[in-house]
Structure 1
Amino acid sequence: MNDARKIMVLGAGDLGRRVFHELAHSDRPRQVQLVGRDGEAVLRAANLTRFCSIQRGHTPALSHALTDLTDVARTAERIASFAPDVLFLAASYQSWWVISTLEESAFKRVYAANYGPWLPMHLTPVMKAMEAVRLSGTEAVVVNAAYPDAVHPVLGAVGLSPDIGIGNVANNVPGITATVADELGRAAEDVEVRLVAHHYVSHRLSRHGDSGPAAMGLGVRVDGRDVTAELDVPGLLKRLPARYRRTGGMAGQAMTAASALSVLEPLADGRDAVVHAPGVDGALGGYPVAIESGKFRKLLPEGMTEEQGHAVNVSGQVQDGISEIRADGTVVFEPSSMAVMSAELGYECAEMTPAEAEGRALEIAERFEAYRVRTSG
């Protein structure tokens, strides 16, 4: 096991446990560590994964450890002690699915704010984790799951962005691939999809089959030839929430875990791959990405420029509730989205610097809990 690559999963919630579990089911030489703050939960999750792995004939080196991201020094010590090659951040103060646990009418009202106003809940733990990464001295590739489309450009402004994100833009690519493959009577491996899209668009595609008022960039190649113009793209996309609909909610996080593994496994195993990912090298929004010797290169659809790709993602960012991310990391929120938060939760925030994120996260958490109690009847 001396030559085994080391992967640390920092965050033992639902997504972190799923990814840890899947990473363990491999015959490749790996050392995988699950790190969380609840000792009993982390121990049970680590043992469950170990036993399942043994049952299926795999014997990776698995371990677990404890830390709390609010303790940056302790987290840095944990990272330095394990010395990971790849570090997966799966930590958020409030996962995306939590608002779906509200009473239905309350959920629909809050959902209308979109995702942007909740940014402090994701930015804060990732910022603390990245402070620990810098303090640890690690050279690990850092992969983040918490709203990378917006978190990474904000943290990039202060020198703390993870290297790449997971999910969001990636989550609809398999569905689009399957739709095109079935339409053309081809195998899925014959179809190459290149999708440029912000979190807002990815979220909307699986529910409505279009990008709504936001832009998106989509290219499709078959046998190396661009066939996008030959396809009824709007018609194919409309099939995503119909014939190609899939399980959503917390159970649907299996798709997000698969998207995470599509990035993590090539990095862990030292091989090249073409994936989709948000927040690559601090970029806003999501892109097709080539992983080459542990580095990342955007792969745009045919005919799209870097400037056009950025503009596509900015349009999605605005619809998600963020007007602008300034060069210093200050976030300007969309008034229409914040109006929903104000009306429902009594929360207002026109602008926010990275330094203000923690206080805002605590305020949102308090107001959301009071809202849950108030609307539960």
Structure 2
Amino acid sequence: MNEIRKIQVIGAGDIGRQVFQGLALSDASRSVQLVGRDEEATLRAANLTRFSSVQRGHSARVSHAVTDLFDVERTAERIAAFQPDIIFLAASLQSWWVITTLPEQAFQRLYQANYGPWLPMHLVPVMKAMQAVRLADSPAVVVNAAYPDAVHPALNAVGLSPEIGIGNVANNVPGIRVGAADLLGVHPSEVEVRLVAHHYVSHRLSRTGDAGAASMGLAVLHHGRDITAELDIGALLGSLPHRYRRTGGLAGQVMTAASALSVLEPLATGRDALVHAPGPLGLVGGYPVALEGGRIRLELPHGLSADDAVKINESGQLQDGISDIRPDGTVLFEESSMAVLTRELGYDCAEMPLDQAEGRAREITERLAAYRQRVTR
């Protein structure tokens, strides 16, 4: 493609900044804009990327803008003014690492809830951003980083789902490829993986090397031939938290940024690619996905139907703390997971219609702040 492609990154936190820099450090003809809430911080981050790009001899056009996602009209104005081809959403009301800053015992207790009960904190900013996309009448492809496994199927019910997500299922694929390649004595470029897995499973694989009580789908191919049956898959996956362990925490978000760029670059350049992504086309959980000329379709392991892939991901959704997402977008939370937040924070929510999500997010914010004060006295 010779025309200048425009990519707008909304969210100037750690992932947003990393991905923004990755997009700018390219020889492709493109314009990238970072959108954040704080003028000073967003300007500094955009300039850092701009100067780094110039220093390395790249020529991307770099700019910034400011908005608050809760101001839907203003966000729509920013989108309409930039006219992006692609929007990358990197906004959440509570990043995954926030509870890790609590005292260790308090963190470990809250950790038992898994991710599902925290859904409002990720769903609300994405919903606001998508409302702005619709208000701006933007044709941009929207790629989302905030818990796409559950956010997308909930918002899909009201026509507000981003087209595709990033991270989660994708983050363990390189480790599986490298591990399989080492077993075969070949280069990782000769090995392909098809992984169907929910966020819950993705989270476990790098920590325990298994899917826990959830299901997953996996195929390993060498030069296009399925060799899954020839490998000890249990041992391969079990090696992820050991021989193939990697840096975690905030520093480990380099892997998530790489997963984001693996999706964004093919979309920006129009090249075909096989990637892994959560929430494609509004589906629950994560899948192998073919990107073809900007189009998105599932590329599942041979013999696995789309319905079966969804059922696999629904098993992970349950373990993550969400028992169901109804056709109208109402989310039902799994009782034992929610019981953790009830016991620790005094927060209880059996089911959440979409129009209650914002209020629930405010309640969680207030209760977590009070909890932090109690446990840090």
Q: Give TM-score, length-normalised by structure 1.
A: 0.99
In structure 1, the partner of 2:193 is 193
In structure 1, the partner of 2:327 is 327
In structure 2, the partner of 1:369 is 369
Q: Give, in whole Å, the separation in 2 of the partners of 1:95 and 1:178.
A: 29
Look up the equivalent residue of 1:160 and give its one-letter code.
L
In structure 1, the partner of 2:311 is 311
Deviation at 1:288, TM superposition (A): 0.1
In structure 2, the partner of 1:59 is 59
Q: Give, in whole Å, the separation in 2 of the partners of 1:181 and 1:272.
A: 23
In structure 2, the partner of 1:301 is 301
Q: Give, in whole Å, the separation in 1 of the partners of 2:236 and 2:376.
A: 39
Deviation at 1:269, TM superposition (A): 1.1
Give CA deviations for 1:250-292 in whole Å, capped at 9, x if unaligned: 1111000000000001111111111000110100110000001
Aligned length: 377
Look up the equivalent residue of 1:302 and give its one-letter code.
H
Q: How does 1:206-355 map to 2 (within 5 A)?
A: 206-355=206-355
Q: Give, in whole Å, the separation in 1 of the partners of 2:37 and 2:341.
A: 30
Look up the equivalent residue of 1:171 and give its one-letter code.
N
1:70 correspondence with 2:70: yes
Deviation at 1:144, TM superposition (A): 0.4
In structure 2, the partner of 1:6 is 6
Pair 1:2–1:298, CA change in 2 (3 A): closer
In structure 2, the partner of 1:85 is 85
Q: Give, in whole Å, the separation in 2 of the partners of 1:376 and 1:194.
A: 44
Deviation at 1:373, TM superposition (A): 1.4
In structure 2, the partner of 1:104 is 104
The SS at the match of 2:91 is coil
Look up the equivalent residue of 2:352 and give its one-letter code.
M
In structure 2, the partner of 1:141 is 141
Q: Give, in whole Å, the separation in 2 of the partners of 1:371 and 1:207.
A: 27
Q: Give, in whole Å, the separation in 2 of the partners of 1:297 and 1:239.
A: 30
Give CA deviations for 1:137-186 in whole Å, capped at 9, x if unaligned: 11000000000000000000011000000000000000101110111101
In structure 1, the partner of 2:95 is 95
1:157 correspondence with 2:126: no
Deviation at 1:309, TM superposition (A): 0.5
Give CA deviations for 1:285-313 in whole Å, capped at 9, x if unaligned: 10000001111110111221111101100
The SS at the match of 1:64 is strand
Matched-pair contact (CA < 8 Å) for 2:217–2:301: yes
Deviation at 1:6, TM superposition (A): 0.3
Deviation at 1:98, TM superposition (A): 0.9
Give CA deviations for 1:225-257 in whole Å, capped at 9, x if unaligned: 000000000011111000100011111110000
Give CA deviations for 1:19-64 in whole Å, capped at 9, x if unaligned: 0011110111010000001001001100111111111111210000
Q: Give, in whole Å, the separation in 1 of the partners of 2:2 and 2:274.
A: 28
Pair 1:356–1:27, CA change in 2 (3 A): same
Q: Give, in whole Å, the separation in 2 of the partners of 1:46 and 1:108.
A: 36
1:28 correspondence with 2:28: yes
Q: Percent identity?
A: 70
Q: Give, in whole Å, the separation in 1 of the partners of 2:195 and 2:99.
A: 28
Deviation at 1:2, TM superposition (A): 8.5
**Mind listing any 5+ residue stretches in structure 2 that lack a counterpart?**
none
Q: Give, in whole Å, the separation in 1 of the partners of 2:279 and 2:40.
A: 33
Q: How large is the Cα RMSD of the aligned pairs?
A: 0.9
**Mind listing any 5+ residue stretches in structure 1 that lack a counterpart?**
none
Look up the equivalent residue of 2:372 and give its one-letter code.
R
Q: Give, in whole Å, the separation in 2 of the partners of 1:368 and 1:26.
A: 41
Give CA deviations for 1:97-135 in whole Å, capped at 9, x if unaligned: 111111111110000000000000000000000000000
Q: Give, in whole Å, the separation in 1 of the partners of 2:304 and 2:270.
A: 29
The SS at the match of 2:211 is coil
Matched-pair contact (CA < 8 Å) for 2:270–2:292: no
Q: Give, in whole Å, the separation in 2 of the partners of 1:175 and 1:282.
A: 26
Q: Give, in whole Å, the separation in 2 of the partners of 1:55 and 1:337.
A: 49
Deviation at 1:81, TM superposition (A): 0.5
The SS at the match of 1:249 is coil
Q: How does 1:39-50 map to 2 (within 5 A)?
A: 39-50=39-50
Q: Give, in whole Å, the separation in 1 of the partners of 2:278 and 2:225.
A: 25
In structure 1, the partner of 2:359 is 359
In structure 1, the partner of 2:169 is 169
